[in-house]
Amino acid sequence: MRFLFYTHSAVSDWNHGNAHFQRGIMRELVARGHEAVALEPADGWSRSNLLAEQGPFAVERFRKDFPELMALTYGAGFAHEAWLAGADVVIVHEWTDKDLVARIGQARAYGNFTLLFHDTHHRAVSATQAIAALQLEHYDGVLVFGEVLRESYLRAGWGKRVFTWHEAADDQLFKPCPDVEPVCDLVWIGNWGDDERSAEIAEFLIEPASALALSGTVHGVRYPTDARAALAEAGLRYDGWIANADVPKSFARHRVTMHIPRRPYRESLPGIPTIRMFEAMACGIPLVSAPWSDVEGLFRAGTDFLFARNGAEMRGHLRDVLNDSQRAEALAASGRETILARHTCRHRVDELFDILAACGNREVAEFKPAREAVA
C-alpha cells in the first residue's frame, strides 16, 4: 500500500517532537513492505530553524540516519492532486496549512484513498477556533493522541470518526546502549516551551539538581539567556539541540532522566505524556516524572517510573535512584518491559490498520503480521 504523510516536517525535529513518531511509523510501514512518503512545506518553521542553526548538514544527517525514509518538500504550484491520486492512505498532520487541509479534503471527495487527520497538539483545547475552522467533512477519520482529546473532538462535532492513537517509541532506534558507560548523573531532553513549563523546569530540574550537586546535561532549543544562566549555576551543562538519532547514546551516558510535561497538557489534556517518556523507557534509563494524570493507565507508576508531586519529591527520588543501583535497574527494566509490550511503533501500526478497517479500507485484510519485538 502507498501511505502519504502530510507532516510539518519529517526531516526536522527542531522543536517538533511529532517528527519522532512519524518517522517511526513510516519506518515500520516500510519494514512491512509498504511505501511511505512524507510531504512537508519547504518553508516550515521547524525545518527553517534547523537549517538556520545547523546548516545543510542537518538535512544530510537525516538522510544518513533514516535512509529508508522518503521526505519531499512542497511549495506553491506543487501537484498535490497527482500525489493524492496515487495514494491508498493519506494522513494529514494538524500543523498543515488550513487551506491545504481543505484542498486535500476536496480531493478525497473524488478519490479512492482513505483520508485521516492527525492531531498531536493542544490547540483543540487552547485554540479551539483554529481547529473549528478546519474543513474535515471529507476526512474518513481523525487520529488524536489521547482519549481526552478524542472526547473534545466528539463534543465539538469535528470529523466523522475519532480514534485515540497514542504516540510511541520507535524501538528500532530507542533501545539500550550497553557499550556506553554512564559518566554523568542527570539528563533532561526537552525544549523550553515558551512559558508553558518555565516554572516547572525551575522546580523539578534546576532546583533539585542544584541541591543535590548533580552533574548533568540539558538538551533543547529556545532556552533564553536567563534560563541558560540558571542551568549553569545549578551545575548543568546546556548543550542545545540534539538529533533524535543521538538521544539513545545520550541517555546511556547518564544515570537518570525526567519527564516534565507542559502545563496545557497537565491541566487540560490529562493522560497524554510527551513522546520522550516512551523513548526514555525504551532506552532503559530510570525516569522520574513531574505531575501528570495517567488516566488511561499507559504505564505502571512506581514500577515503570516514579512520580514526583513537587520539587522536594523530585529531589528525594533522584537521590534514591542515584544511590540505589538495584532500584534504578528495576525501574529501567520495568519501564522497557511496558514499552515493548504496549507502546512501540509496531503496536501503533497494528492499531492504524484496525482504524483503516473501521474506516472502510478493504485492503487491510491483506496486511502482513507485525514483526517480532526486539528485546
325 CB-near residues (< 8 Å, 6+ apart): none
332 CB-near residues (< 8 Å, 6+ apart): 281, 284, 285, 286
161 and 12 together in one domain: yes
Range of the structural domain that residue 319 is part of:
184-341
* Domain assignment of residue 247, yes or no: yes
**Cell numbers standing for residue 363:** 485492503
274 and 198 together in one domain: yes
61 and 158 together in one domain: yes
* Domain assignment of residue 374, yes or no: no
264 and 357 together in one domain: no
92 and 193 together in one domain: no
* Domain assignment of residue 67, yes or no: yes
124 CB-near residues (< 8 Å, 6+ apart): 131, 144, 149, 152, 153, 156, 158
| Helical H segments across 157-262, by residue range | 198-201, 207-212, 225-233, 247-252
Give the global pTM.
Answer: 0.95
209 and 232 together in one domain: yes
* Domain assignment of residue 362, yes or no: yes
The Cα 347–Cα 355 span in angstroms is: 12
308 and 236 together in one domain: yes
Which DSSP helix (H) or strand (E) runs through 236?
strand 236-238
- Number of domains present in the structure of the chain: 2
323 and 352 together in one domain: no
Closest-CA residue to 114 (of 224, 225, 3, 8): 3
* Domain assignment of residue 174, yes or no: no
272 CB-near residues (< 8 Å, 6+ apart): 145, 146, 148, 149, 166, 265, 292
* Domain assignment of residue 372, yes or no: no
192 and 283 together in one domain: yes
146 and 19 together in one domain: yes
CATH of the domain at 299: 3.40.50.2000
**Cell numbers standing for residue 34:** 509498504
* Domain assignment of residue 204, yes or no: yes
* Domain assignment of residue 371, yes or no: no
223 and 305 together in one domain: yes
| pLDDT tens-place values along the chain, 375 residues long | 999 999 999 999 999 999 999 999 999 999 999 999 999 999 999 999 999 999 998 889 999 999 999 999 999 999 999 999 999 999 999 999 999 999 999 999 999 999 999 999 878 787 788 888 999 999 999 999 999 999 999 999 998 899 999 999 999 999 999 999 999 999 999 999 777 899 999 999 999 999 999 999 999 999 999 999 999 999 999 999 999 999 999 999 999 999 999 887 788 888 999 999 999 999 999 999 999 999 999 999 999 999 999 999 999 999 999 999 999 999 999 999 999 999 999 999 999 999 999 999 878 766 645 443 333
351 and 318 together in one domain: no
Residue 143, φ and ψ in degrees, nearest 5? -105, 125
